[in-house]
Structure 1
Amino acid sequence: MHPRVIEVTERLVERSRLSRAAYLQQMAEAAARPRGRRDLSCSNFAHGMAGCSAVDKDRLRMVDEVNIGMVTAYNDMLSAHQPYETYPAQIREALRAFGATGQVAGGVPAMCDGVTQGEPGMELSLVSRDVIAMGTAIALSHNMFDAALCLGICDKIVPGLLMGALRFGHLPILFVPAGPMPSGLPNSEKALVRQRFAEGLATREELLDAESKAYHAPGTCTFYGTANTNQMLLEAMGLQLPGASFINPGTPLRDALTVHVAEQAARLARAGEGSLASILDERALVNALVVLLATGGSTNLTLHLIAIGQCAGLQLNWSDMAELSEVVPTLARIYPNGQADVNHFQAAGGSAFLFAQLLEGGLLHADVNTIAGPGLQRYTHEPTLVDGRLAWRDGPAASLDDSILRSLRAPFKVDGGLRLVEGDLGRSVIKVSAVKPEHWQVSAPCRTFVTQEAFVTAFQNNEFDSDVIVVIRFQGPAANGMPELHKLTPYLGVLQDRGLRVALVTDGRMSGASGKVPAVIHMSPEAHSGGPIACLRDGDILDLDADRGTLLVRMDEAEWQSRTPAVHPQPVRRGWGRELFAFARTAASPAEQGASCFTESLIQADGGQHDD
């Protein structure tokens, strides 16, 4: 094992000593109770199976047989989740053939940042993760189930499902992907049309035509944003079948994998093995982080991995991420870090080749439990059909396209491209995977805005003709739910293409869809909480060095200390359901603690503050 991986893992273990022990004790107490309807009263049990077929009722009465719960994020507005419409029937049929039963335990919401970006609904995006976690807990609360299948893919859905499922970690919990849509309009062409539209050089009809050719069919969007990063990390944590992430919907191999994961859930439940708590430990969490870094994945996971860890009693932090980033090489280039999409990545060798390289370099813990059995080595294999039957074969020994996927001997970069940024404004993160090194240092006056719409208006008024660091504040979890700021991307790109030195600084998010402009994001403490970012004024000179991880205010210390934080000029906007989530904003932890409204309750459940 690489000494840095060992060091970070051991520090995570020690920091989490009390909270992990409390979590495992809670799971042990849950496991000690009769499971899966065996302790239900006759009335309870009758209610739980009243809607089942006669065949399923007969099997449910057999207390030694297993019943698998499904938690589904199906809706047919999300292309990634549209295929899930037919999954419950397919899974029930597979389980019946296997001598088991399955029931949809509940549904959870699944919103799409791609639809809501720049819209009022985006302010509900991050908090939907915690709502999904609560919905998952409610679905599994009936004690009718011996194991569960989670049907979800996209941005906040997978983290939310996992956070909720971890409170039922005494059960086997398996994730069921649906796969990416086929490749459409190349990402480079799509980005070019977006920038031309921002400059007024393309019509709305041209933009819509380009976007519709990029996002054109059922399945996950094919760029490497949060959705596909989630899929890669589920494999790294051993919670999804090996190589299952990027098999297209509606194919025989996809169907075979869905049947197999249902059968595997029943196998694990029958054997009393594969509990989620036994799989998602400190080693699995570090493995997920390593894969995030090696692939240049979405910065949203710098929030989600922390929040997921907390639900398992594990106290991951940004310092762990930054220290691992120094030694984990970048082995994949998928848009926005390159021009390929996830279908191209899969064709080049996919996760099987990637995991083999990282294991060879001692960067992944091999001695872990997974839903496929012991050892991460299983994830160096890829699924295939042999005479119509599902099998796994060794992944390729070499990359089939080294412009997309490379070996440890010839990485794209020697590090993971994620930096912890510290300085006068607090702590934040930046992903430089897609940023050319010549743009890593920016020194310029700042312009402050409290909404991305205000910045767009300033752009349209031609107010930017010199180097600038754009500051968008009051966008943190306590202010307005920490929305994505995707709307900024094409406009900032235009300014950079005009030859200006440009950067973004924000206490909001700019996830996996962020690109070539340096973006210092998740600034903590946030402006709403009186963080130093609220003390900036237009014209203040900021010095960003993404390589060193510093962001400084070029000002006399006495003057800086005399500044009074600005107050948001407007109360939190109402409408579009935003007022219903005021309680969550009030309870939200800082970005560096996962931006979760569960943090305080989890600390209390652990019996006190966690170790430093």
Structure 2
Amino acid sequence: MSTPTPLHPTLDAVTRRIIERSQPTRSAYLARIRAARHQGRLERSQLGCTNLAHAFAAAPEAIKIELKQEKTPNFGIVSAYNDMVSAHQPLQDFPAWIKEEAFKHGATVQFAGGTPAMCDGITQGYEGMELSLFSRDVIAMSTAVALSHQMFDAAFYLGVCDKIVPGLLIGALSFGHLPAVFVPAGPMTSGIANDAKAKTRQLFAEGKVGRDALLESEMGSYHSPGTCTFYGTANSNQMMMEMMGLHMPNTAFVNPNTPMREALTRAAGAHLAQAVKNDAILPVGEMIDEKSIVNAIVGLMATGGSTNHTMHLVAFARAAGIIVNWDDFDEISSIIPLLARVYPNGKADVNHFAAAGGLAFVIRELLDAGLMHEDVNTVVGHGMRAYTKEPFMINGKLEWRDAPAVSGDEDVVRPAANPFSPDGGLRLMKGNIGRGVIKVSAVTPDHRIIEAPAIVFDDQKDVLAAFDRGELERDFVAVVRFQGPRANGMPELHKLTPQLSILQGRGFKVALVTDGRMSGASGKVPASIHMSPEALLGGAIGKIRTGDMIRFDAENGELNVLVDEAEWNAREIPSPDLSKNAHGVGRELFAGFRSLSSSAETGAMSFGGDFA
């Protein structure tokens, strides 16, 4: 047997630093969830008879019989199902499959509750996007409401997309004394090529094709049940659940409405029932530890994952009492090789990635190179080696086999010895404007350093209008401020990508600096996003004036306004008019979330106290 590769010293040092930094909050969290456990007793054993009768009045008679027993575990399902969002439509059938398999193995299951699941692809560029970020916190609270009946000995969490999985995980960790299994739905099958879709978007932005052609192109891309196939926040979610061992192994990128998808969903039901009865699975709050969180960050870097997780990962780590910051991301990124090229960082989609070797291949490469913690707990036991295997249907039965020894397509996924680049896809940007992040994996080296005058905007619609008027045909840095969580809920500004890409394609040096978000689909235009502090909280991005020279250096992580220091320090931040963001599409209901939000670097969370 070969000697295991030692853990990379930088990864070890960052992990130790996180453990030390988190010691007070992590200890307090573990004490709380351990106090919540009912050692040797079922969760519902504390309830009175009237409470219990309410809890299973509607259950089938066979389930009632089991629920009256003192030894039958009962599980909850929290689902983000709806039939409008393509990624969540397949979840409709999952509860019945899970209930059936768990019952076969001596456990009962009840559908505990649902959560909202909004789609950023639908709200992109419109007012509804201003609810998007804080929908994560609504989902976390919805999860808590679903589990608040204290009827459940473990739970299944069904969700896929951007805010949904982080929200479910925050909610699950607030019930960290219960074991948890996350059950994915998988990506839709491949449609038209991503570069063809992007080309049509550019042609439409230039007025060279009409809306009919654009809609036809978009429908050719987003065409069936399942997750969008580009590697954005949704698919980055699924990657992280694998990297933290919250899925059954290698289940993230199996298409819905296939025999394999049903088999894997049923396997999750059977496995949790057996694991709980045999005391072979840890409560999720114990299972997810500092090493698990570091593995999730490693996965983001190795695959070029979504920038949104510089907030979401921070947020769910804090829900477990674990404190990470952007310095941790930056330092980990410096040592983790980029092993995957999936759109927008390449031409392939997640189906091509899975076919070429997928996450099982990537995880094995990282483990063998000492670039990932192997000694962590997962839903299937101790150690990450189980996640280097792929599921197969052999004579109608599931069987896991080792990932392929070599990549099926080195244009899509590569071994650690021959990466696409020696470092990860994310970088910390800092200077006299504040701190932000950039996803550099899709930005070519010749576009990573820019020195150009600023053009300041307070609304992304003003950027688009200036483009339409022909006012942006020059080198510039677009500064879009008052887009942070406190100001307007921190909407994604992805609608700017086609226009800025057009200008870059015409030979102009362009970049974006904002205290708002882009998405995991942010592409080839350099963008320093999530600038913290945000303008509304006195962040220096609010001091920038149109015409100020900005040096944007993504190679060295430096972002500065080239203004005399005395003048810069004397400048005041203008008071924005945010009245247009206060009402409509339910935004008035989210005023409390906006007023309580922490900074982007601390997770943009509206929860205070132990989450802060």
Distance in 1, Cα, partners of 2:177 & 2:154: 9
* Partner secondary structure for residue 37 of structure 1: helix
| 1:109 matched to 2:116 | yes
- 2:503 is aligned to 495
Q: Answer yes or no: is the 8 Å Cα contact 2:42–2:70 preserved in 1.
A: no
Alignment of 1:567 with 2:575, yes or no, is yes
- Give the Cα–Cα distance (whole angstroms) in 2 for the partners of residues 20 and 100 of structure 1: 31
Amino acid of the residue matched to residue 2 of structure 1?
H
- Between the aligned partners of 1:336 and 1:420, the Cα distance in structure 2 is 20
Alpha-carbon distance in 2 for matches of 1:25, 1:304: 24
Alignment of 1:134-173 (within 5 A): 134-173=141-180
1:548 equivalent in alignment to 2:556: yes
| Residue pair 1:171, 1:275 contacting (<8 A) in 2 also | yes
Query: For 2:206, which of 199, 215, 222 is the aligned residue?
Result: 199
Q: Provide, for residues 439-463 of structure 1, a one-character-per-residue CA deviation record: whole Å limited to 9, x for no partner.
A: 0001101111111111100000000
The CA distance in 1 between the partners of 2:189 and 2:360, in whole Å, is 20
Where does residue 37 of structure 1 map in the other structure?
44
Question: Alpha-carbon deviation of 1:599?
Answer: 4.0
* Cross-structure match for 2:191: 184
Is the partner of 2:487 in helix, strand or coil?
A: helix
Whichever residue aligns with residue 493 of structure 2, its letter is: L
Whole-Å separation in 2 of the counterparts to 1:382 and 1:293: 22
Deviation of 1:559 after TM superposition, in Å, equals: 1.2
Post-superposition offset of 1:230 = 0.3
Equivalent in 333, 344, 350 of residue 342 of structure 1: 350
Pairing of 1:219-234 with structure 2 (within 5 A): 219-234=226-241
User: Does 2:219 correspond to 1:212?
Assistant: yes
Aligned residue identity for 2:315: A
Q: Deviations over 1:299-326 (max 9, x none)?
A: 0010011000110000011000000000
Partner Cα separation in structure 1 for residue 106 and residue 172 of structure 2: 25
Q: CA deviation at 1:601?
A: 4.6
Q: Provide the residue aligned with 1:408 in structure 2.
A: 416
Return the alpha-carbon distance in structure 1 between the equivalents of residues 433 and 611 of structure 2. 28
> Which AA in structure 1 matches 2:585?
W
> Counterparts of 2:74 and 2:273 in 1: how far apart (Å)?
8
State the secondary structure of the residue aligned to 1:38. Answer: helix
Compute the displacement of 1:37 (Å).
Answer: 1.1
CA contact (8 A) 2:243 2:292 kept: yes
Report 1:467-506 matches (<5 A).
467-506=475-514
Corresponding residue of 1:581: 590
Given the alignment of the two structures, is residue 16 of structure 1 paired with residue 22 of structure 2, yes or no? yes
Q: Could you tell me how far apart the structure 2 residues matched to 1:599 and 1:490 are?
A: 38
The aligned residue for residue 596 of structure 1 is 605
Shift of 1:417: 2.3
Paired residues of 2:390 and 2:402 also in contact (CA < 8 A): yes
How does 1:112-123 map onto structure 2 within 5 Å?
112-123=119-130
What is the rounded CA distance, in whole Å, between the counterparts of 2:202 and 2:81 in structure 1? 33
- On the 8 A contact 1:470/1:505 being kept in 2, the answer is yes
Map of 1:79 onto structure 2 = 86
In structure 1, how many angstroms separate the alpha carbons of the residues matched to 2:324 and 2:66? 43
How far did residue 222 of structure 1 move? 0.4
Residue 499 of structure 1: SS of its match in structure 2?
coil
Letter in 2 for 1:332: A
State the SS of the aligned residue for 2:78. Answer: strand
Give the equivalent residue in structure 1 for 2:443. 435
Give % identity: 54
**1:235-266 Cα shifts (integer Å, max 9, x gaps):** 00000011100011111111110011011111
C-alpha distance in structure 1 between counterparts of 2:72 and 2:368, whole Å: 41
Q: Secondary structure at the match of 1:402?
A: coil
**2:428–2:435 contact (8 Å) kept in structure 1:** yes
In the TM superposition, 1:386-405 aligns within 5 A as 386-405=394-413
- CA distance in 2 between counterparts of 1:159 and 1:13 reads 21
Deviates most, 550-559 or 31-40: 31-40
1:206-285 to 2 correspondences below 5 Å:
206-272=213-279, 273-285=281-293
* Contact 1:67-1:100 at 8 Å conserved across structures: yes
Q: Deviations over 1:92-111 (max 9, x none)?
A: 12222222211110000000
Paired residue for 1:535? Answer: 543
Q: Which amino acid aligns with 1:495?
A: L
Residue 464 of structure 2 corresponds to: 456
Correspondence for 1:606: none
Contact 2:342–2:349 at 8 Å: present in 1 too?
Answer: yes
Contact 1:310–1:599 under 8 Å retained in 2: no
**Structure 1 residue 514 displacement after superposition:** 0.3
**Structure 1's 154 and 531: CA in aligned 2 closer, same or farther, altered over 3 A?**
same
- What's the CA shift for 1:35? 3.3
Maintained 8 Å contact 1:268/1:274? no
Aligned equivalent of 1:289, options 291, 297, 300: 297
| Structure 2 partner of 1:384 | 392
Contact 2:188 2:225 (C-alpha < 8 Å) held by counterparts: yes
Aligned residues of 2:204 and 2:214 also touching (Cα < 8 A): yes
| Structure 1 segments of 4+ aligned residues over 4 angstroms from their partners | none
2:4 aligns with none
Deviations 1:103-138 (A, max 9, x none): 110000000000000010000000000000001011
Which stretch has the larger CA shift, 226-235 or 563-572?
563-572
Are the equivalent residues in 1 in contact too, given 2:238–2:252 (CA < 8 A)? yes
Supply the distance in 2 between the matched residues of 1:578 and 1:187 (Cα, whole angstroms): 33
Q: Residue 383 of structure 2 corresponds to which residue in structure 1?
A: 375
Out of 538-547 and 94-103, give the one that drifted further. Answer: 94-103
Alignment size in residue pairs: 603
SS at match of 2:237: helix
Gaps of 5+ in 1: 604-612
Q: Which AA in structure 2 matches 1:219?
A: G
> TM-score, normalised to structure 2's length?
0.98
Cα distance, 1:291 vs structure 2:
0.5
1:317-341 deviations in Å (ceiling 9; x for gaps): 1000000000000000000000000
Post-superposition shift, 1:32?
3.5
Q: Once the 2 structures are TM-superposed, how far is the Cα of residue 348 of structure 1 from its aligned partner? A: 0.2
Contact 2:42 2:73 survives alignment (8 Å): no
State the secondary structure of the residue aligned to 2:342: coil
How far off is 1:38 after superposition? Answer: 1.2
Shift of 1:279: 1.4
Q: Give yes or no for the alignment of 1:364 onto 2:375.
A: no
Letter in 1 for 2:327: S
Q: Hey, what's the Cα distance between the residues in 1 that align with 2:472 and 2:315?
A: 38
Is 1:306 the counterpart of 2:330? The answer is no
- Assess if the C-alpha contact under 8 Å between 1:23 and 1:312 holds in 2: yes
Q: Which residue of structure 2 lines up, in the alignment, with residue 610 of structure 1? A: none
Confirm or deny: 8 A CA contact 1:35 1:143 kept in the other structure. no
Q: Distance in 2 between matches of 1:490 and 1:282?
A: 38
Contact 1:146 1:172 in 2 (8 A): yes
Partner Cα separation in structure 2 for residue 237 and residue 180 of structure 1: 20
